[in-house]
């Protein structure tokens, strides 16, 4: 794309150098990824200022710079477009460079403290089972049809976002289910993304290190609904899908002009209502009341929170053209989500579950589901992130675990540069009991849990779920929770077989 065409998308700017002959073939904000023909965005971020790396980008072949500070000494004669807000312009130009890909897709955005990953995967499963090519952008990965791409953030930056959406368009994907985090909304990562439908799951304390108050946190979450705007998309209405059981729903309803579809486990007036819920070890059944009909649902997931997630997914699919019965039929074969109530098979008679629960609300809902299962003892392994994370929820996480489990092993999650013992001590707070211990090393904690467990016990590993890395004092190491649990159980089994053989 010609440099002048990019510049013409910006109303107020200062151009230094001749951009009429510049041909841009790549967009980057990371100087390490610059190749010949790149337009480089000098983003002044929270930790790194891209202006400092303009010379590196120039050396690697950048042909155009977008900056807010003088970089003439670093880039020589290479043209520069100076603007006030590089991040905002980056999103705008990325959208234009990739020819507005989200406008060609059925975009369903899901926001909320908990449930985003499960809801997006449920939606994606419904569409796939109804013979449509799909995409997912979220916490675990970016997925274009069957091609998996790694992800760093729940919602990627605008360059990766629009590039990924463009790849979906090329691959003739029809629907993209996208997790939209509060950080993404706050930092403008979805600027320019044209959503058909916004889904709200719930709002509970989290990320208050960034948003400071629940009111501000809710306001940020509502930006996804406000972004739906007042216009049709490709001649079709836009929709907001809202969980009526969450107190924030009352405020959210007034923050969008889109048609609202509601779901609930308790309010029969909701458009999608679940009743007669029955919970089993490996599935949940319920009757879905929607659109004047009753549908019998059998879901291979457990827990009332997963019923709520399912209602959200069915509602979002319905307003975008999938018939309710077709969605219900599809979900009967749903294969689950990595790190979300993920059972680990073993021959020891121990129920082992890996789950991402890392907030008080998520943990409370998880425990509520666990209480419906049959077991002798319940043991929970849990910790909390360190560094610049919201430490106000630590006592609540500890209390929920200690009050409901027979035994708790506190351990590290991602302590970063914070003392793990300090984190665990804050979680225990004023607890006087003795039904817990500290094991700093997370892998050792997993083995300790398996060591303590006996046949008939339920052991639950909370906080990391799908995550593939553990962040320790400036170093990130590979960490696969489910695999370590599977390994510990297998080794215990082999040890017991050896003892019995003797």
Query: What is the band of 39 on the pLDDT scale with cuts at 50, 70, 90?
Result: very high
Condensed to tens digits (0 to 9), the pLDDT of residues 113-130 reads 888 899 999 999 999 999
DSSP letter (8 states) at residue 113: S
Please, are residues 479 and 383 in contact by the beta-carbon 8 Å criterion? no
Boundary-marking domain end, from 79, 97, 115: 97
Q: Which phi and psi (to 5°) does residue 182 adopt?
A: -65, -35
Please tell me whether residues 220 and 298 are part of one structural domain: yes
Query: What is the band of 255 on the pLDDT scale with cuts at 50, 70, 90?
Result: confident
Q: Which phi and psi (to 5°) does residue 469 adopt?
A: -130, 150
Please, are residues 259 and 271 in contact by the beta-carbon 8 Å criterion? no
**Residue 19: which residues within 8 A CB-CB, separation 6 or more?**
2, 3, 4, 6, 7, 64, 79, 81
Condensed to tens digits (0 to 9), the pLDDT of residues 42-55 reads 999 878 899 999 99
Please tell me whether residues 139 and 286 are part of one structural domain: yes
Please tell me whether residues 497 and 382 are part of one structural domain: yes
Please tell me whether residues 225 and 311 are part of one structural domain: yes
Chain centroid to CA 91: 20
**Residue 496 is part of a domain; what is its CATH number?**
3.90.190.20
Residue 301 domain-assigned (yes or no): yes
| Residue list for the binding site for ATP | 112-118
Does pLDDT of 455 surpass 80? yes
Q: Is 58 helix (H, G, I), strand (E, B) or coil?
A: helix
Condensed to tens digits (0 to 9), the pLDDT of residues 221-252 reads 788 888 898 888 988 999 999 999 998 888 88
Residue 337 domain-assigned (yes or no): no
**Residue 51 is part of a domain; what is its CATH number?**
3.40.1390.10
Does pLDDT of 87 surpass 80? yes
CA dihedral sign, ordered 21, 27, 31, 35: negative
- Across the chain, mean pLDDT equals 90
Please tell me whether residues 391 and 348 are part of one structural domain: yes
Mean pLDDT for the stretch of residues 413-425: 89
Does pLDDT of 474 surpass 70? yes
Does pLDDT of 390 surpass 80? no
Element (H, E) at 92: helix 86-97
Residue 336 domain-assigned (yes or no): no
**Structure tokens of 326?**
């077709």
Please tell me whether residues 12 and 130 are part of one structural domain: no
Q: How far, in Å, are 14, 17, 33, 467 from residue 36 at the CA level? A: 23, 18, 10, 34
Please, are residues 423 and 386 in contact by the beta-carbon 8 Å criterion? yes
Query: What is the band of 211 on the pLDDT scale with cuts at 50, 70, 90?
Result: very low
Mean pLDDT for the stretch of residues 436-447: 94
Picking from 380, 440, 381, 446, the residue whose alpha carbon sits closest to that of residue 415 is 440
Please tell me whether residues 84 and 9 are part of one structural domain: yes
Query: What is the band of 405 on the pLDDT scale with cuts at 50, 70, 90?
Result: very high
Residue 89 domain-assigned (yes or no): yes
DSSP H stretches of helix in 108-243: 116-129, 158-170, 182-187, 208-211, 214-226
Boundary-marking domain end, from 331, 357, 378: 331
Does pLDDT of 391 surpass 50? yes
Q: Is 20 helix (H, G, I), strand (E, B) or coil?
A: coil
Mean pLDDT for the stretch of residues 478-495: 92
Residue 121 domain-assigned (yes or no): yes
Picking from 58, 20, 21, the residue whose alpha carbon sits closest to that of residue 39 is 58
Residue 66 domain-assigned (yes or no): yes
Condensed to tens digits (0 to 9), the pLDDT of residues 133-176 reads 999 998 888 999 999 887 776 677 899 999 999 999 999 999 99
pLDDT of residue 501: 60
pLDDT of residue 339: 79
Q: How far, in Å, are 376, 384, 394 from residue 416 at the CA level? A: 36, 11, 16
Boundary-marking domain end, from 331, 355, 383: 331
Please tell me whether residues 438 and 327 are part of one structural domain: no
Please tell me whether residues 289 and 182 are part of one structural domain: yes
Q: Which phi and psi (to 5°) does residue 343 adopt?
A: -80, 140
Does pLDDT of 210 surpass 70? no
Please tell me whether residues 357 and 259 are part of one structural domain: no
Mean pLDDT for the stretch of residues 437-447: 94
Please tell me whether residues 442 and 315 are part of one structural domain: no
The number of domains in the chain is 3
More confident position, 207 or 50: 50
Does pLDDT of 357 surpass 70? yes
DSSP letter (8 states) at residue 150: -
Residue 150 domain-assigned (yes or no): yes
| Residue list for the binding site | 31, 112-118, 153-155, 181, 187, 189
Please tell me whether residues 393 and 473 are part of one structural domain: yes
Mean pLDDT for the stretch of residues 56-76: 96
- Give the structural domain span for 272: 101-331
pTM of the model: 0.80
Q: Is 471 helix (H, G, I), strand (E, B) or coil?
A: strand
**Residue 94: which residues within 8 A CB-CB, separation 6 or more?**
27, 158, 159, 161, 162, 163, 192
Q: Which segment of 214-223, 276-285, 405-414 scores lowest on mean pLDDT?
A: 214-223
**Residue 152 is part of a domain; what is its CATH number?**
3.40.1190.10
Q: How far apart are CA 469 and CA 100, in angstroms?
A: 33
Residue 34 domain-assigned (yes or no): yes
More confident position, 473 or 324: 324
Q: How far, in Å, are 190, 444, 488 from residue 349 at the CA level? A: 46, 21, 14
More confident position, 319 or 465: 319
Mean pLDDT for the stretch of residues 271-287: 91
Query: What is the band of 212 on the pLDDT scale with cuts at 50, 70, 90?
Result: low
Does pLDDT of 329 surpass 70? yes
Q: How far apart are CA 334 and CA 301, in angstroms?
A: 8
Mean pLDDT for the stretch of residues 59-86: 96
pLDDT of residue 184: 76
């Amino acid at each position: 794309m010609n440099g002048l065409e990019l510049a013409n998308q910006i109303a107020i700017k200062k151009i230094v150098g001749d951009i009429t002959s510049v041909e841009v073939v790549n967009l980057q904000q990371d100087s390490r990824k610059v190749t010949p023909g790149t337009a480089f965005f000098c983003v002044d971020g929270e930790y790194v200022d891209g202006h400092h790396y303009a010379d590196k980008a120039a050396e690697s072949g950048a042909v155009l710079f977008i900056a807010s500070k003088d970089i003439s000494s670093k880039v020589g004669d290479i043209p520069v477009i100076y603007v006030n807000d590089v991040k905002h312009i980056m999103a705008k130009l990325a959208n234009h460079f990739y020819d507005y890909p989200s406008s060609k897709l059925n975009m369903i955005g899901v926001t909320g403290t908990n449930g985003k990953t499960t809801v997006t995967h449920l939606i994606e499963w419904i569409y796939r089972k109804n013979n449509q090519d799909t995409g997912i952008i979220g916490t675990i990965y970016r997925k274009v049809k069957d091609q998996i791409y790694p992800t760093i953030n729940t919602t990627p930056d605008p360059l990766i976002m629009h590039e990924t959406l463009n790849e979906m368009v090329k691959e003739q994907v029809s629907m993209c289910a996208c997790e939209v985090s509060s950080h993404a909304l706050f930092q403008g990562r979805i600027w320019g993304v044209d959503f058909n439908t916004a889904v709200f799951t719930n709002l509970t304390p989290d990320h208050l290190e960034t948003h400071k108050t629940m009111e501000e946190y809710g306001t940020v979450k509502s930006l996804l609904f406000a972004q739906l705007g007042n216009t049709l998309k490709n001649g079709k209405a836009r929709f907001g899908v809202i969980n009526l059981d969450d107190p924030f729903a009352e405020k959210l309803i007034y923050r969008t002009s889109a048609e609202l579809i509601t779901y609930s486990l308790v309010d029969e007036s909701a458009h999608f209502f679940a009743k007669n819920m029955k919970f089993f070890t490996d599935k949940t059944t319920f009757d879905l009341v929607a659109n004047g009909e009753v549908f019998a649902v059998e879901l291979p997931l457990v827990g009332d929170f997963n019923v709520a997630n399912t209602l959200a997914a069915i509602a979002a699919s319905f307003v975008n053209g999938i018939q309710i019965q077709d969605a219900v039929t599809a979900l009967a074969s749903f294969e689950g989500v990595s790190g979300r109530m993920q059972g680990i098979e073993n021959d020891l008679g121990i129920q082992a579950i890996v789950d991402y629960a890392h907030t008080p609300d998520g943990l409370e809902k998880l425990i509520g589901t666990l209480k419906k299962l049959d077991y002798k003892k319940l043991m929970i392994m849990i910790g909390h992130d360190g560094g610049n994370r919201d430490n106000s929820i630590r006592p609540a996480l500890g209390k929920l675990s200690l009050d409901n489990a027979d035994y708790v092993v506190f351990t590290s999650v991602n302590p970063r540069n914070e003392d793990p013992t300090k984190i665990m001590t804050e979680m225990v707070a004023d607890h006087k009991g003795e039904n817990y211990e500290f094991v700093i090393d997370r892998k050792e904690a997993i083995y300790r849990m398996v060591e303590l467990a006996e046949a008939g016990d339920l052991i639950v590993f909370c906080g990391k779920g799908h995550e593939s890395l553990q962040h320790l004092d400036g170093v990130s190491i590979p960490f696969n929770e489910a695999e370590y649990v599977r390994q510990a159980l297998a080794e215990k089994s082999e040890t017991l077989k050896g003892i019995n053989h003797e």
